[in-house]
Amino acid sequence: MANPTGYPELDALLPRLDAIPSLEVDALASELIAVLGRKNGALTEALKSVASLPMDQRKGYGAAVNGLKASFEAAFAARRESLDTDRQRQEAAGVDLTMPARRRWVGSEHPVTRVVDEIVEIFRGIGFTVAVGPEVETDWYNFTALNFPEDHPAMDMHDTLYVDAPPVAGEQGGRLLLRTHTSPVQIRAMLESAPPVRVIIPGLVYRNDPFDASHAPAFSQIEGLAVDEGISFVDLKATLIHFAHRFFSSSTKVRFRPSFFPFTEPSAEMDVECQLCHGSGCPACKGTGWMEILGCGMVHPAVFEHSGIDAERYTGWAFGMGPHRIAMLRYGVPDIRLLYEGDMRFLEQFVPGGRRGSGARPERSEGAAGQG
């Protein structure tokens, strides 16, 4: 702190003197005017008031004002010089001070991550535990244990990406491949723990598919599995309807259509009311008013047998859905590739509080668990 003058109205200016070394260019200019300005500068006014003082006080007060003025002038000059050298140094280093500042990035979850998290949370809320499994699997877990017939087309080289490595020995081994669905984790969950089992299984799956508007060689799935005594198709329907009402809206209509999967019997596909036209029919749902979001069914006894579970005592249900597809339906994303490209102009729409979905329409709606 600068030395006190003994005059309170002058000493009141001392903190401002001390603050000068940290003022930036604009603040420095206005402070200079506020203190030393010819019109209303604080010290200019003080100096003027000297003339109106009684003779015996003029000298002391005048000297104090002048001393303080000199200190202010010196401080302003020193600060201006240091700002000048800073600027010269930055200019020499190639820093362009006139360049507009960079916008601050606001990060947020990827729309697919958000969809996965929301779905998993809904199932956790009704007693399901999260399970995960390896993305490189054996033939046995990915196909055999799930009751795929030996020559099932899903095992075809055109569909499955095999790993160029020696096959794994043993009963549960076989050729190594990138899992084509999350269903093998059902088997792992049942081999690991005895019923009751209630697991929700998010993860990436891989298929030798083209990368086009509705296909990607890597995409996400969420598998669900419930095994217990006395479980029926009613539990399956009630649980999935609960999910659809929580995830979409409480008035969203759903329907189940008979279908086929080797690992469930009976099997079904679940459709939800089209989220874009709300059932009246639009290009996104091909005029049907419905969008398929998952495959499901009652666990096939052959799958129980491979998983060491007594099919006479226990029953269970399972489902598989595709969060990439569901994100496309929910946000009206017309091309799945947008979800992979990391283009900020696309992703910024999903920043909370920011704009959502563009209103563009997806072209296909089938095959929410896989890729149609």
Q: List residues binding ligand DAH (CB under 6 A).
A: 181, 183, 223, 261, 264, 295-297, 318-320, 369-370
Measured from each CB, the residue nearest to ligand DAH is 320
To ligand DAH, the closest distance from the beta carbon of 319 in angstroms equals 5
- The letter for the amino acid at 314 is Y
What is the closest distance, in whole angstroms, from the C-beta atom of residue 261 to ligand DAH in the complex? Answer: 4
Residue closer to ligand DAH, measured from CB, 41 or 295: 295
What span, in angstroms and rounded, lies between the C-alpha atoms of 276 and 273?
A: 9
What is the SS3 assignment for 226-275?
Answer: EEECCCCHHHHHHHHHHHHHHHCCCCCCEEEEEEEECCEEEEEEEEEECC
Please state the closest distance from residue 248 (CB atom) to ligand DAH, in A.
19
Report how far residue 326's alpha carbon sits from residue 320's, in angstroms, rounded to the nearest whole number: 12
Cβ distance to ligand DAH smaller for residue 17 or 318: 318
Nearer to ligand DAH, 203 or 295 (CB): 295
Q: For the CB of residue 187, give the shortest distance to ligand DAH in the complex, in Å.
A: 11
Least distance (Å) from ligand DAH to the CB of residue 121? 20
For the range 115-118, what are the long-range contacts, defined as Cβ-Cβ under 8 Å and sequence gap of 24 or more? 115/323, 115/326, 115/327, 115/330, 116/202, 116/220, 116/222, 116/323, 118/247
Indicate the residue among 264 and 275 with the shorter CB distance to ligand DAH: 264
Question: Looking up tokens 């569901």, which residue turns up?
Answer: 326
Single-letter code of the amino acid located at 371: Q
> Token pair for residue 169?
């020995």
Which DSSP string do the residues of 339-360 spell out, in sequence order? GTS--HHHHGGGSTTS------
* CB 174, CB 332: distance < 8 Å: no
Choice between 71 and 160, CB closer to ligand DAH: 160
Residue 332 identity = G
Give me the least distance between CB of 265 and ligand DAH, in Å please.
10
Q: Are 183 and 216 in contact (CB under 8 A)?
A: no
Residue 115 Cα to chain centre, angstroms: 9
Tell me whether residue 31 or residue 223 sits nearer to ligand DAH (CB atom): 223
Phi first, then psi, for residue 51 (nearest 5°) are -60, -25
Q: Report, in Å, the least distance between residue 235 CB and ligand DAH.
A: 13
Instruction: State how far Cα 190 lies from the chain centre.
Output: 31
Shortest distance (Å) from residue 134 CB to ligand DAH: 16
283: phi then psi, degrees, rounded to nearest 5: -60, -35
CB of 297 to ligand DAH, least distance (A): 5
Between CA 156 and CA 160 the distance in angstroms is 6
Tokens of 205: 């799956």
Q: CB-hemisphere CA count at 13 Å for 131?
A: 24
Residue 129 amino acid letter:
T
CB of 368 to ligand DAH, least distance (A): 9
Q: In terms of CB distance, is 133 or 370 closer to ligand DAH?
A: 370
Cis peptide before 266 (omega within 30 of 0): yes
